[in-house]
Amino acid sequence: MEINFAKLEKKWQNKWEKEKVFEVDMDSKKKKFYCLEMFPYPSSQGLHMGHALNFAMGDILARYKRMQGFNVLYPMGFDALGLPAENAAIKANKHPKPFTQNAEKNYIRQMKELGLSYDWSKTLTTMSPEYYKWDQYFFLKFYKAGLIYQKKAPVNWCPKCNTVLANEQVQGGKCWRHEDTNIDIKHLNQWYLKTTKYADELLKDLEKIDWPEKIKTMQKNWIGKSHGTEINFKINNETWPIFTTRPDTIYGVTFMVVSAAHEKLIDLVTPKQQPEIKKFLKEVNSVSEKDLANLEKKGVFTGSYAINPITNEKIPVYAGNFVVADYGSGMVMAVPAHDQRDFEFAKKYKIEIEVVIKNPNSKEIEITRTKTGNITRTKELDKAYTGNGNLIASEQFSGMDNENAKKEITKYLTQKKLGKKQIQYKLRDWGFSRQRYWGAPIPIINCKTCGIVAVPEKDLPIILPEKVTFGKGNPLTTNKEWIRTKCPKCNGEAKRETETMDTFFDSSWYFLRYPDNKNSKKPFDKKIINEWLPADQYIGGAEHACMHLIYARFFTKALRDLKFLDFDEPFSALFNQGMLHGPDGEKMSKSKGNIINPDDISAKYGMDTARYFLFSIAETEKDRDWSEDGIKSALKFINKILNTYKEVEKGKSSQKYETLLNKTIIGVTKDIEEFKYRKATIKLKELFDALAKEKSVSRETLEKSLQLLNPICPHITEELWEKLGNKDFICKSVWPKAKKTQKNTKKENITEKLISQINQLLEKVKDKENLFIYVMPFELEKIDLKKISSKINKKIKIFATNNKEKYDPENKSKKAKPGMPSIYLE
Ligand code: ANZ
Ligand code: ZN
Ligand code: ZN
């Protein structure tokens, strides 16, 4: 039988929409589940099957959770502001506003056609003044709290983008969008968010969240906590505190290197060295640290010398391209014998190399300094020795093992007031101002008399002017009418700030707006978002590990401290999905011409077929290729289901099938919970293949089988459900329960029960911080403590009732029963 999939799908999509089946009930007493996907930038090219794969991942989970009895919030919105939208609009010779609005409309249409069960009543777009008003509002709150400041700093400037770029937007000294364009370094006044204030908490709280280890590691490295010592060197009678993780090598310092982008570099350059330095600076073109690591190390002597505070030696100061301007003090004490980077530099510029840590594996000491300045050479080094060993040629510290020497030398320096212990983070404050049009205007006014003045809250939003000319530079700087304004303080002539916020500012908090998206008085209601967040599941690409996923965590913590919300982390769980490649195995993109268009697929194979196919070919986190043969075989399977139904008589099925069904219920439930969708498709195929062989089947059995398939194939299962005579939607039915429960589900149950028990109690007592749980000894391992901590934001301790050491001042443990732990709060 030929099935008109497009027609069948449309029928159900219309019904879902008309009956508002996916709209969340904000007042429901049911358990909540917030299923969140990274919102897209609405590209004018529309969605392709790769996007369909991403979004269907959350859709399957949302549908499944609804059937599990959760009150599910599953929203979708648009990251509509930002440079890509502006550039695309300019290229199409259109204004970004209508251009982006059209793209959004098209996205919504396509998302509906994919069968995605979004609650469109909760949508938002960052380009609407109702949204970016709150960007500006948060700017003011952060500014007042000292979390936003302006500073002049070296920045990456792309002459083609005509804007500052973030460090992560520079690759190999080139713009990420213009691979042929070298970055310039400019010293500009920029707006910064003090992300560093939360560096330690951002690091520590990674332990609290159920995120892929890979992302956690990336964030750890990005935050880059480093324990070291700050040592005060004197240069031209000025003190330069120098950060080092190797104070044990202080006797081996033979030169210093100051960052080429350092603001004070010019003060260090003697007149004689100026021409050479100027030439050198022209060649340096990135302030991104990642970049610096891969460059060929280069430097030029500044003409100045530093005094080593421990040896009083005179040490030449170089300017170098590999030193980061705003890490530590932007200058390093170089120890070529024990640092490979310094070693290469020293070899290149023929600088002394002095061994101060003895390599225990090497018989000879290659170069020894017996006394300051008195060097004996036995053999040339061919590389730096970076391992541990005992100190040599280090006066009273000689002979000490170097780990111990780190402490002793730091202690000595501290006593002499020549240094101190120091912690450094790689994480930088986030420069978020952009010299572009399509972003939220920064709510600042520049007055000749009063200086920088914050726009009063009542004057928000500052709306982007529609009349602008694109071309050279920032279009806002040429709109004189918009710029001219009155100073809120002295009422005198003043000018608006023409910089706009980076699009990552908008996306740092959009998930807080969804649950209360229509609030016109506040960005969101505290009580509502305390109920809905942290989001239970966040789904999106790993490429955001060190940008969006750090900024969103920072916003959450900063807003918590400003009393906007009461939780520490935005997303309890994170999942990084794999990507869909074209039939050629390449990343899907229009320029490669390998796009698979959902409209075509729907007409030819049906969206359910496509969804089933996409998840059957690879595990959820893996990449996969589109294949025409693959989808054809998926189509056979879907047709079989549709046709089997007709042959099924309403009777009783075999015991064998019932047993398989029960096993499948347990299996598919677990697979969806664990994002193992491929495993679920395999089990479902097995189930429906067996069903096709059954002579007769009871209505209940058939219904259960269809329910299991529903999250993956939402349209055809609705159709068959209706054919069985059901009046309501299958997507609103209750997920089937297995007859015999397994251990695993028990663990799930007791944990879930405990969570709701705790929540009930917490409704009555709010102000307690510590939670103690008492369980029967044999139940201790059945409780998923990690899950509880992800849902309940308290310090939690768990004890078996027979534990003699347990803390139990009110004898609550006596009340615990099997399946019913007891709780104590204080
Ligand atoms: C002397 C030394 C000797 C160092 C040695 C290392 C090995 P992390 O772990 O990354 O914090 N450093 C300090 N400031 C820098 C900057 N602005 N740009 C580039 N490098 C900088 O590493 C800290 C080490 O990186 C410091 O310890 C310093 O070099 C260098 F055998 O000091 B070390
Ligand atoms: Zn560029
Ligand atoms: Zn003024």
pLDDT, tens digit (0-9, with 9 covering 90-100), for 558-603? 999 999 999 999 999 999 988 889 888 888 877 778 888 888 888 8
**Identity (one letter) of the amino acid at 517?**
N
Determine whether 674 is exposed, middle or buried from the number of CB atoms within 10 Å of its CB (0-12, 13-18, 19+): exposed
Q: Give the gyration radius of the chain's Cα atoms.
A: 32
pLDDT at 372: 46
pLDDT at 579: 87
- Cα distances (angstroms) measured from residue 561 to each of 219, 420, 567: 22, 30, 10
Token pair 């120098």 is found at: 242
Task: Kindly state if the Cβ of 705 falls inside 6 Å of ligand 1.
Answer: no
Residue whose CA lies nearest to ligand 1 atom number 12: 332
**Identity (one letter) of the amino acid at 817?**
K
pLDDT at 726: 94
Task: From 245, 331, 345, give the residue whose CB has the most ligand 1 atoms within 8 Å, as the site to mutate.
Answer: 245
Q: Where are the alpha helices (DSSP H) in 74-145?
A: 83-91, 96-113, 129-144
Alpha carbon of 492 to ligand 3 centroid (Å): 6
**Identity (one letter) of the amino acid at 758?**
I
Alpha carbon of 245 to ligand 1 centroid (Å): 6
Give the chain's end-to-end CA distance (angstroms, integer). 66
pLDDT single digits (tens) 180-214: 888 888 888 899 999 999 999 999 999 999 999 99
pLDDT at 621: 86
pLDDT at 371: 44
Task: Kindly state if the Cβ of 338 falls inside 6 Å of ligand 1.
Answer: yes
pLDDT at 370: 45
Instruction: Work out whether strand 451-454 and strand 484-486 pair parallel, antiparallel, or are unpaired.
Output: unpaired
DSSP state of 682: H
Contact yes or no for 281/320 (Cβ under 8 A): no
Taking the C-alpha atoms of residue 466 and residue 127, their distance in angstroms, rounded to an integer, is 12
φ, ψ of residue 29 to 5 degrees: the values are -90, -5
Contact yes or no for 321/299 (Cβ under 8 A): yes
Alpha carbon of 144 to ligand 3 centroid (Å): 18
pLDDT at 287: 55
pLDDT at 272: 97
Task: Kindly state if the Cβ of 782 falls inside 6 Å of ligand 1.
Answer: no
SS3 108: helix
Task: Kindly state if the Cβ of 428 falls inside 6 Å of ligand 1.
Answer: no
CA 276 to chain centre: 43
pLDDT at 781: 80
Segments of the chain scoring below 50 in pLDDT: 370-372, 742
| Bridge partners, 485 (sequence order) | 494
Q: Where are the alpha helices (DSSP H) in 486-571?
A: 503-506, 510-513, 526-532, 548-561
Residue whose CA lies nearest to ligand 1 atom number 5: 339
The encoded tokens of residue 623 equal 């990449």
Cis peptide before 275 (omega within 30 of 0): no
CA 355 to chain centre: 43
Which atom in ligand 1 lies closest to the alpha carbon of residue 243? Answer: 13
Residue 432: its H or E element: none
Which atom in ligand 1 lies closest to the alpha carbon of residue 384? Answer: 31
Task: Kindly state if the Cβ of 537 falls inside 6 Å of ligand 1.
Answer: no
In sign, the C-alpha dihedral spanning 403, 407, 410, 411 is negative
SS3 679: helix
Contact yes or no for 358/251 (Cβ under 8 A): no
CA 659 to chain centre: 43
Nearest ligand by distance to the CA of 259: 1
pLDDT at 733: 97
Task: Kindly state if the Cβ of 335 falls inside 6 Å of ligand 1.
Answer: yes
- Cα distances (angstroms) measured from residue 610 to each of 34, 468, 617, 629: 26, 44, 11, 12
Taking the C-alpha atoms of residue 47 and residue 104, their distance in angstroms, rounded to an integer, is 11
Nearest ligand by distance to the CA of 165: 2
Which atom in ligand 1 lies closest to the alpha carbon of residue 253? Answer: 1
Contact yes or no for 99/89 (Cβ under 8 A): yes
Residue whose CA lies nearest to ligand 1 atom number 26: 244
Cβ-based neighbours of 361, under 8 Å, separated by 6 or more: none
The encoded tokens of residue 729 equal 């939607």
**Identity (one letter) of the amino acid at 166?**
A
Which atom in ligand 1 lies closest to the alpha carbon of residue 330? Answer: 17
Task: Kindly state if the Cβ of 243 falls inside 6 Å of ligand 1.
Answer: yes
Ion ligand 2: residues, Cβ under 5 Å: 158, 160-161, 175, 177-178
SS3 629: helix
CA 503 to chain centre: 14
Long-range contacts (CB closer than 8 Å, 24 or more residues apart) made by 371-379: 372/311, 372/313, 373/313
Cβ-based neighbours of 131, under 8 Å, separated by 6 or more: 124, 125, 506, 510, 513
